[in-house]
Chains A and B, each alone.
Chain A
Amino acid sequence: MAAALSVPDHRLGRVLVRRGLQAVGVALAVSAVCFWVVQRLPGDAAYRIAAGRYGYDLVDAEAAASVRAELGLDRPAWQQLGDWLLQLVQLDLGRSLVTSQPVAEELAYYLTGTLQLAAAALVVAVVVGAGLGVLAARRPGGVVDRFTTAYVASVRALPPFLLGLLLVLLLSAQLGLLPAVSSGGPRALVLPALTLGVGLSGLVATVTRSAVVEVAASEQVRFARTKGLAERRVQARHVARNAAVTIVPYLGVQAVVLVEGVVVVESLFSWQGLGHALVHAVFWRDVPMLQATALVLALLVVAVNTVVDLVGLWLDPRPRALEGVR
């Protein structure tokens, strides 16, 4: 373990610099593309924004004209994009066109919701998926392995909205154990987290099983057993650690999918997260909110990849070290 911790500082720095530059590039690209897409959307932005502000059937020409004048929507598109980028450089995300609240405040609220949900779902996925994968790998072809295969096929076949509805009907409507929507404290997190986590756990189980079977059959593990190490020690120090080199990058990808794929589940459970905010921002043409949400989602991908790089470096510094020699 001590050897693994001695990752050279310059390697860490190189990873961080590379990902930092990537973040800047992603921010610029996402902002520009997002702005261009919004400009190309059909419909009058002033009317859409006014509908968001005053109510879907209360918007009228006067309200739209007032919004157009207030927000300068008649200005050339490049000028509007330039203003937004200038604000971004000053770390100012502006105000929501609909609610007039600072976008940063709204984002912080919605991001917290999404991260809570994604983290809880990841825990469920890892506990259930990795647990089943490890158990299945202990005896390939055995009862547990066959059960795991059936479980994986089942949860992979169920789309999240259907799984969510089934869970709501069973645990909320029939048994009354859990709230159907995001109200009521920590309990409210359980159903959406189960919906997302159970869906993901199938793939985690498959990847974990394959990785553990492969590592368990490797020479180093056979040697560890031959030299008389206790099975618990073999599993912890050799099998788990080496399997993690495969599993962690995969979990990183899943975390990204989770963060970006919670729209359906957030909508299903009325969970206040980024997906919810994004849908409303698109519907109401709330450009600053839309751009900032897309930006945060993109930067989250970079952040997750950075964490995966660092954890990978910590678990197994060899590939980076060899790369450094080259």
Chain B
Amino acid sequence: MRRLPLLTCLLAPVVLTACGQTSDRAAETSALRVVGPFEVHSLDPILDGEIFTRLEVAETLVTADEEGRLAPGLATSWDSSDRDTVWTFDLPADATFHDGSPVTAQAVVDSLELAAQQEASPLAGVPVRAVRAEDEQVVIELTDPYTLLPAVLTHYSAQVLAPAAYAEDGHVEEVIGTGPYRVDSVQLPAEVETVVFEDYRGERPEVEQVTFQAVSRPEQRAIMAASGQADVVFGLEPAGRERVEAADGVVMASSLQPRTILLKVNAEHPVLGDARVRRALSAALDREAMAQAVLRESELAATQLLPPSLGQWQADVEPLTHDEDEALSLFEDAGWTPGADGVLERDGEPLELTLTTYPDRPELPALATAIQASLRDVGVDLAVDVTNSSEIPAGHADGSLELGLLAKHFALVSDPLIDIDTVLAEGGGSDWGAMRWEDEDVRAALDALKSGLPEDEASRARETVVRTVQEQLPVIPVSWYRMNAAVTEDVDGFVIDPLETSWRLSSLSWS
């Protein structure tokens, strides 16, 4: 047994190291520890720029408030003239970038021009004639009226960075923004540390340091939240939420997001091209049971395309409900009758469909199997393919997709009109929206809304869009989506931004 002391000595550092850890946050660090599933693989605004606007390192000219309304960002005010074709944005006189250089109109123009060159940026879809600097103003000239320009400028790809942030070829080497926090260190893809920017033009945040860590597994995030290893934790699964709710010293915050989980339907498919079949599929879905079982909240069952958080886009339409008899009746009208094995048949062909979805949002595969079970009850043989998310746009492009289950965010910029217009895009829909479906009335209403309408006419146009979609179901809404976060009781003032543009950490205070 003389070897035991040797063994003890060898293991002692491990044991001592372990025992040195404490869950007392005050003893560890004064930084606010934020954890989420979002890995940061690039500093480029178009690729992973949202993390730096959420951390309030980078700012856009315009941002959105907690209600989703446009609010000043880096620009103090803005105005339009000449039928909304010339937009002027005023810059603050005393703003500086994190490297100490002054915020000039030319620096803003350079950032916006780089963003507009990126296909994936909503700015690329704006009819821009020219962007130019005039004294302390940025002027954007358009070829056509476009009332949504300020909303587009809330997108993270339009963030303004210092000239020194860019390499010669235009890619971002360092995130040098204008926000209340500056980057202290970045360890791609998992860690970003920020500290207060001393020369920030606005109010100094009370939380002086923030660490962000990407943790991919939801159960790990739940453990970190419940055991005090993180202060703000995003992306908890229902099981993780229950664990957090049972823990001391941490509370759950949540917000209904402008996001709808929906079925993308190939409207040129021999079976799905019939609106009666689409309505039958919709009627067969027991949305409340699915929402309760998967999302643990039956109120998230979708009754129309857009959630109540987008109030302007809620129409007085007959809600989508679960009605198996109605579903069977619609199938019968379309020529589908129960076969010998219970599967619906038409001309001897069974009703077999494939639903494609992806695992990046953990609720989607679970909802897909629930949809499979619901449809089996009315005789639809549905195969579920859980694969890479890109199979949905790829299947859209080559026409091979039948049904896709996806979670569509309707306010990537502050006005949902842009995303709704994309979902129901001219030419038969879009990669993450309708597929090979078009309606003249809907198109006319969306075009009119984009060019600007008085509120009463705009309201009627919005209702036309929602009502037509409800009747034709080019996409079949399944559920709405609630974003949640676990927040330590050590901080006050935490709110979830419904548009996810910022985590508003500069508004937090220590309890």
The residue that A63 contacts in the complex, of B119, B360, B407, with Cβ under 8 A, is B119
When distances are taken between beta carbons in the complex, the residues of chain A under 8 Å from B20 are 187
Is A61's beta carbon under 8 Å from chain B? yes
Q: Considering the complex, which residues of chain B in the window 395-412 have a beta carbon less than 8 Å from any beta carbon of chain A?
A: 396-397, 406-409
**Which residues of A (254-275) have their CB < 8 Å from a CB of B?**
267-270, 272
**B223 near A48 (CB under 8 angstroms)?**
no
Given A51-B388, A172-B229, A180-B227, verify A270-B190 contact (CB < 8 Å). Answer: yes
CB distance from B123 to the nearest CB of A (A): 14
Residues of B within 8 A of A99 (CB): 41-42, 47, 188-189
Contact A47 B391 (CB under 8 A): yes
> Roughly how many angstroms separate A100 CA and B42 CA in the complex, as a whole number?
8
Indicate if B58 sits at the interface (CB-CB under 8 A): no
In the complex, the number of residue pairs spanning A and B with C-beta atoms less than 8 Å apart equals 145
- Whether A43 and B216, one on each chain, are in contact in the complex, defined by CB atoms closer than 8 angstroms, is no
CB <8 Å contact, A60 and B432: yes
Of A61, A135, A180, A283, the contact of B229 (CB 8 Å cutoff): A180
Which residues from chain A contact B83 at a C-beta distance below 8 Å? none
Q: Nearest chain A CB to B144's CB is how many angstroms away?
A: 20
Complex: how many Å from CA A44 to CA B46? Answer: 22
Residues of B within 8 A of A101 (CB): 42, 188
A100 to B338, CA, bound (A): 54
Contact B390 A47 (CB under 8 A): yes
A47 B394 Cβ-Cβ under 8 A: yes
A interface size (C-beta, 8 A): 53
A187 with B21: CB separation less than 8 A:
yes
Is the C-beta of B7 less than 8 angstroms from some C-beta in chain A? yes
Q: Is A295 an interface residue (CB 8 A)?
A: no
Residues of B within 8 A of A187 (CB): 17-18, 20-21
B171 on the A face (CB < 8 A): yes
**Known contacts A51-B388, A62-B119, A176-B227; A272 and B189 CB within 8 A of each other:** yes
Interface string of A44-73 (1 = CB under 8 A from B): 100110111110111111111010000000
Minimum CB–CB distance from B150 to chain A (whole Å) comes to 22
B26 at the interface (CB under 8 A from A): no
Give the docked Cα–Cα distance between A184 and B431 (Å): 41
Residue A127 lies at the interface, judged by CB distance under 8 Å to chain B: yes
Contact yes or no, B119 A48, CB < 8 A: no
Complex Cα–Cα for A135 and B8 (A): 14
Is the CB–CB distance between B389 and A66 below 8 Å?
Answer: no
Using CB atoms, name the residue of chain B closest to A272: B190
Residue B266 interfacial (CB < 8 Å): no
Interface status of A168 (Cβ within 8 A of chain B)? yes
Contact at B393–A183, with CB atoms within 8 Å? Answer: no
| B340 at the A interface (CB under 8 A) | no
Chain A neighbourhood of B393, CB < 8 A:
47, 59-61, 64
How many angstroms between the C-alpha atoms of A58 and B88 in the bound complex? 30
Q: For chain B, residues 34 to 76, give those with C-beta under 8 angstroms from any C-beta of chain A.
A: 41-42, 44, 46-47
CB–CB B119/A181 < 8 A = no
Looking across the interface, which residue of chain A has its beta carbon closest to that of B190?
Answer: A272
Verify if A131 is at the interface (C-beta below 8 Å from B). yes
CB-CB nearest in chain B for A130: B7
Chain B residues near A66 (CB-CB < 8 A): 119
Give Cα distance in the complex from A134 to B17, angstroms.
26
CA distance in complex: A246, B100 (Å): 63
B6, B22, B407: the one within 8 Å of A57 (CB) = B407
Q: Contact: B431 with A60, CB < 8 Å?
A: yes
Within 8 A of B (CB), among A154-192: 168-169, 171-173, 176-184, 186-187, 190
- Kindly state the separation between the CA atoms of A187 and B409 in the bound complex, as whole angstroms: 39
A50 touches which of B387, B390, B391 (Cβ 8 Å): B390
Residue of B nearest to A269 (CB): B220
Selected from A48, A62, A134, A267, the residue in CB contact (under 8 A) with B390 is A48
CB–CB B224/A48 < 8 A: no
Asked whether any CB of chain A lies closer than 8 Å to the CB of B217, the reply is: yes
A98 within 8 A of partner (CB): yes
Interface centre among A57, A169, A172 (most CB of B within 10 A): A57
CA–CA, A187 and B3, complex, Å: 26
User: Which residue of the partner chain, among A98, A124, A173, A270, contacts B216 with CB atoms under 8 Å?
Assistant: A270
Q: Which residues of A sit under 8 angstroms from B228, Cβ to Cβ?
A: 176
Contact B220 A180 (CB under 8 A): yes
Q: B234 in the interface, Cβ–Cβ < 8 Å?
A: no
Quick one: given A63-B120, A98-B41, A99-B42, are A180 and B223 in contact (CB under 8 Å)? yes
Question: Could you tell me if B406 and A190 are in contact, using CB atoms closer than 8 angstroms?
Answer: no
Known A47-B394, A135-B3: A56·B223 in contact at CB below 8 Å: no
B394 touches A64 (CB 8 A): yes
B488 to nearest A CB, angstroms? 14
Is the beta-carbon distance between A59 and B390 smaller than 8 angstroms?
Answer: yes
11 contacts across the A-B interface (CB closer than 8 A): A54-B120, A57-B432, A60-B393, A63-B120, A128-B11, A131-B7, A168-B223, A177-B21, A187-B18, A270-B214, A270-B217
What is the interface of chain A, defined by CB distance below 8 A to chain B?
A: 43-44, 47-48, 50-54, 56-64, 66, 98-101, 124, 127-128, 131, 134-135, 168-169, 171-173, 176-184, 186-187, 190, 194, 267-270, 272, 283
Which 7 pairs between the two chains have the least Cβ-Cβ distance? Answer: A176-B23, A47-B390, A51-B390, A60-B431, A56-B389, A56-B360, A47-B394
16 further interface pairs, Cβ-Cβ under 8 Å (given A48-B388, A57-B360, A270-B190): A54-B120, A56-B358, A57-B409, A59-B390, A64-B390, A100-B42, A101-B188, A127-B7, A127-B10, A172-B227, A173-B227, A180-B229, A181-B213, A187-B20, A268-B220, A283-B388
